[in-house]
Structure 1
Amino acid sequence: MHGTLSSRPGAVPKARTTIDMDMLDTIRNDAAATEAAGRLAPSTVAALVEAGSFKLWVPEDYGGAGTSLQAGLDAIAEIARADGAAGWCVMIANTTGLLAARLDREIAHEIFARTDAVAGGFAAPMGVATLRDGAAHVSGEWAWGSGSSHATTMGGGVRIVDTDGSPAALPDGGRVGFAFFAEVEELDTWHVSGLQGTHSTDYRVDNARVPLDRIVSMDRRSLVVDEPLYRFSTFGALALGVAMTMVGLAERAIEELTLLAEKIPQGSSKGLAHRAPVQADLARSVAAVRGARAYVADEVGRSWDEVVASGRVTDERKVALRLAANAAAESAVGAVDRCYTSAGGEAVYRRSPLQRVFRDIHVASQHAMVAARVYEPLGRFGFGLETDTGGL
């Protein structure tokens, strides 16, 4: 009996966003050009804008879809399967879009309401916001400016200080914020092994005057648009988004390996599909990816139900979500590595999407949100020790 193994989960219930197949075809067809240019191809950006993919988690009040956490994650994975750079940029735009719910309505409308609005930025507080004359004067330099080539607004994490450089606070008490800038200076730093098409270059501002209502407190939560989605930790959503980008890449690796079924390696009389070690690697990779998707969907579903019922995400849920994200990321890397190795010499050529997937996922795996060190506070919490969950 002949059959095929799908990398997608079977009976696991998932709230999927409708995905435009023409959009995915455009992204796939543009992938090589995207990587060569070091930024998303214009036709890919146009297709993503038309589909609303950059604004899945932006509130409906500002022209976004305001979709569920799981639906957004599923869309990110599908787009990453078509091209990792596109999936990554969609993930960054949507996690930044979550902050729209915490902005003054007029400011949020200004930043997010236009049809082609795409926001991005690096949330770590690498910048300094000095409070003076009723505004913040921001200087700083940030890495990982993903999507800055097509973003309409970029932001960056900042520490709030007074004119003496001492710690200060925003009107709501926040001491760490995310500032949305009118413009930034891009730096030519994104020369990397993978995710080249994301244009995740460094960027900076120097003494930029930023009105206080364009800074979101990252250590306080005051919602203007109060929906279940916006009760979730921005960092938790980011970690899950990174993980599901990696899951999409792993699904693409599985797909590409199956397309090499009849390839006969040098020194062998059997095609890849007839070699027992390759069969085992394919099966293990499919199992790993199905498990990753199911694990994330289960924890997100449990957390969503809890938020709907209670209006809050408990520390237990934050830990569970971050554990699922890290585990899914690890499983995805393992699946890609097995597929790449099983493909043999064919996988090293530029003509093979497998080599791009391999490079992309290993760059994605370096993101702080899914780093191995994240397991440490999760383990502390599991032992019942006092744990700082603020960054989860």
Structure 2
Amino acid sequence: MAAEHGMLEQAAHQAAELARALAPETERSRALAPALVAQLKDTGLLRAALPSQLGGPGAEPAEVLATAETVAGGDASAGWCVSINATSSLLAGYLPEPGAAEVFGDPRSVACGVWAPQGVARAVSGGVVVSGRWSFCSGITHSDWMFGGATVHTGAGPDVARVLAMPVSELTVLDTWDTGGLRGTGSHDAVADELFVPSRRLLSVLDGPPPDASACYRFPIFGFFALSIAAAALGNARGAIGELVELAGQRRSLGSSRTLAERSTTQEAVAAAEAALRAARLLVYSSVAQAWRAAAEPEPVPDALRAGLRLAATHATRTAAEVTRAMYDLGGGAAIYADSPLQRRFRDAHTATAHFQVNATSYQVLGRLLLGLSTRTEQL
């Protein structure tokens, strides 16, 4: 695993450099640049959580998150897609073995996912027939499969929530992703119309993985999903600090002989931002480490640790946005132009905070738990 980790880390740094160079192309195209997609597929970063028996690296949660964070340091859209695709590869552990082999058997096969039940399906012989429209399908422009949530009408009992693995080639992708930030994620809508999905490609994220699943698949999956957003946000904020430091060494205000870096207000703001970002990142990875140790035990991961993951994810994403805004403000007039990396970082950061997993409302369920109120915790 150590060698595998070193390979993933090296691949992430290389991808970050390419992502930074291609960021303008990614932004214009509203999809990751083809050369970047090819590199990400070649190195397996888009399948980082896939188990080794299916040809993946089977990386631990902290490793998956760290690679996405590193790539986001080059470009937030790239890091976001690495997060989403890698998290989707984790679902191989929830699929029946024949379905997992079908979806991920090709070593370059990549999946994205929207697990919310935005589709409606009916049970038929050998599977289900589904129709629906899923929004925010990040990475679908370079993905081969999409995991879409649906409510399944069984006809013989209560409806059940399932996630369906569907070929992107059998979906209609609608060009809806024209946003202020994270433009390169290609998070368009996808539509299924009376699509048959065999039972081998159905799973439940609520019921959890098989009883004999390894620790990676007993790690809280909803916490993993929320943390994948936080990882991209942390990397973006780290990139923003780097962009500001580079700018500050060169830029002088009108009528001033001092560079931006030589001004005391800049020094104070950068130091405060650095401290905030380090603290938020430490909370994320310490929470992951605690939950990972618990996932190795036979009992389910306790609610307190699950809540800790979600608390860390929301805090980190929102702190990262504050850090990025501070760097954007320090950039002054140089940051307002469309070709300014700081301007893109600012837009990306404040698009990330809108995600339902890490928006301000996500604190409510965590606050209820902290206050000792009765709270549903199945999606922590």
Which bin holds the TM-score, normalised by the shorter protein?
over 0.9
Query: How many Å separate the matches in 2 of 1:297 and 1:155?
Result: 27
Aligned to 1:203, which of 190, 208, 232? 190
Structure 1 length-normalised TM: 0.91
- Code of the residue aligned with 2:371 in structure 1: it is F
Alignment-derived partner of residue 179 in structure 2: 192
Tell me, yes or no, if the aligned pair for 1:154 and 1:184 is still in contact at 8 Å: no
In structure 2, relative to structure 1, the CA distance for the partners of 1:224 and 1:60 (3 Å cut) is farther
Deviations 1:164-203 (A, max 9, x none): 9x843xxxxxx21110113211001111101111110011
Q: Residue 180 of structure 1 aligns with which residue?
A: 165
Helix, strand or coil: the match of 1:260? helix
Secondary structure in 2 matching 1:131: strand
Q: What is the alpha-carbon distance in structure 2 between the residues aligned to residue 225 and residue 191 of structure 1?
A: 43
Whole-Å Cα distance in 2 between the matches of residues 19 and 374 of structure 1? Answer: 34
1:125 corresponds to which of 117, 135, 154: 117
Aligned runs of 1:1-392 on 2, under 5 Å? Answer: 17-20=8-11, 21-162=13-154, 167-168=158-159, 175-182=160-167, 183-223=170-210, 226-261=213-248, 262-392=250-380
Q: SS where residue 297 of structure 2 aligns?
A: helix
More helix by share: 2
Instruction: Pick which of 301-310 and 180-189 moved more.
Output: 301-310
Report which stretch shifted further, 326-335 or 245-254: 326-335
1:105–1:224 CA contact under 8 A, matched in 2:
no
* Number of aligned residue pairs: 371
- Structure 1 contact 228–311 (Cα < 8 Å) conserved: no
CA shift, 1:233, in A, is: 2.4
User: Contact 1:185 / 1:203 at 8 angstroms: preserved in 2?
Assistant: yes
Instruction: Give CA deviations for 1:288-342 in whole Å, capped at 9, x if unaligned.
Output: 1111111111111111112213452111111011011111111101100100001
1:104 and 1:224 in contact (8 A); partners too: no
Q: Give the conservation status (yes or no) of the 8 Å contact 1:102–1:225.
A: no
Cα drift, residue 35 of structure 1? 0.9
| Matched position secondary structure for 1:349 | coil
CA contact (8 A) 1:147 1:198 kept: yes
RMSD value over aligned CA atoms?
1.6
Partner residue in 2 for 1:8: none
Gaps of 5+ in 2: none
| Secondary structure of residue in 1 paired with 2:343 | helix
Distance 1:361 1:238 in 2: 17
Structure 1 unpaired stretches of 5+: 1-14, 169-174
Write the distance in 2 (CA, Å) between the matches of 1:373 and 1:92.
21
**1:22 positional shift:** 3.3
1:59–1:225 contact (8 Å) kept in structure 2: no
| Residue identity opposite 1:273 in structure 2 | A
Measured after TM superposition, the shift of residue 29 of structure 1 is 1.3
Q: Distance in 2 between matches of 1:225 and 1:369?
A: 28
- Kindly report structure 1 stretches of 4+ aligned residues shifted beyond 6 Å: none
Deviation at 1:113, TM superposition (A): 2.2
Contact 1:56 1:64 in 2 (8 A): yes
- Secondary structure at the residue paired with 1:309? coil
Instruction: Tell me, in whole angstroms, the C-alpha distance in 1 between the residues paired with 2:204 and 2:25.
Output: 38
Q: Could you tell me which residue of structure 2 aligns to residue 3 of structure 1?
A: none
Counting aligned pairs with the same residue, the percent is: 37
1:262-309 C-alpha deviation (Å, 9 max, x unpaired): 301235442111222211110111111111111111111111112213
Provide, for residues 231-277 of structure 1, a one-character-per-residue CA deviation record: whole Å limited to 9, x for no partner: 02221101001011000000000000000123012354421112222
Tell me, in whole angstroms, the C-alpha distance in 2 between the residues paired with 1:163 and 1:73.
41
Q: Secondary structure at the match of 1:369?
A: coil
